[in-house]
Copies of this chain bind each other. A is one copy, B any other.
Amino acid sequence: MVTDWNSLLFPYNQAAKEWKVKLRGIREEYQIMDEHSPIEFVTSRIKSIDSIKEKMIRRDIDPERLTEDMEDICGLRIMCPFLDDIYQVVNILRKRNDIEIIEERDYVNNEKKSGYRSYHIVFRYPLQLLTGQRNILVEIQIRTLAMNFWATLEHSLNYKHPDVFPDDVHKRLQEDSETAFKLDEDMSQIRKDLIDDAKKQDKKGE
């Protein structure tokens, strides 16, 4: 059985640190060019030992195959200002040479039943350890600030009330997620209108 959790989790902690620096670097690169950054901020978390154990039982995961079969031990989260920024970040990740993407799930346009929206990417990252290279699975969740507002509060409510939500609460949360999404769409539309206006002004000025 898995026993030394510190040793087992070290590679995931290390991968999370390396990726936090890489992803924050993307934001800085845009800022130095004085361009709009599709990344507002980045966070990371390592799955708790209790959650890992619970998922091993629930999905009947062999301890020997833990690192191959559990893809969200090392998790990063990218918060984007605008809706379009999500897909810009996805494209940036797809072009990198230092990872191999093995899965993408678009919960932005296909939200979960709860109302949850985000874009998920899982990739293999060749981490250098003292014992040699090891391919680590990393999961990145990409979402807007509005989606993050909803997901953070829903998670907070869930944490304090772990039972299934009553039907009406469930429905109100879905509706609030929908309203947050409409806010995202509206802010994107305002942005496009302002850009179109600016173009028209430029033409007039010619």
Contact = CB atoms under 8 A, between A and B. Distances in A.
Interface of A: 6-7, 10, 13-14, 17-18, 21-22, 25-26, 28-30, 32-33, 36, 40-41, 43, 81-82, 92, 95-98, 126, 128-130, 132-133, 144-146, 148-149, 152-153, 156-157, 160-161, 165-166, 169, 172-173, 176, 179-180, 182-183, 186-187, 190-191, 193-194, 197-198
Number of copies: 4
A23 to B, nearest CB: 11
Q: Which of A30, A129, A152 has the most CB of B within 10 A?
A: A152
A36 B159 CA distance: 9
Main secondary structure of the interface of A (DSSP, over half): helix
A145 to B, nearest CB: 4
Contact of A98 (B40, B126, B144, B156): B126
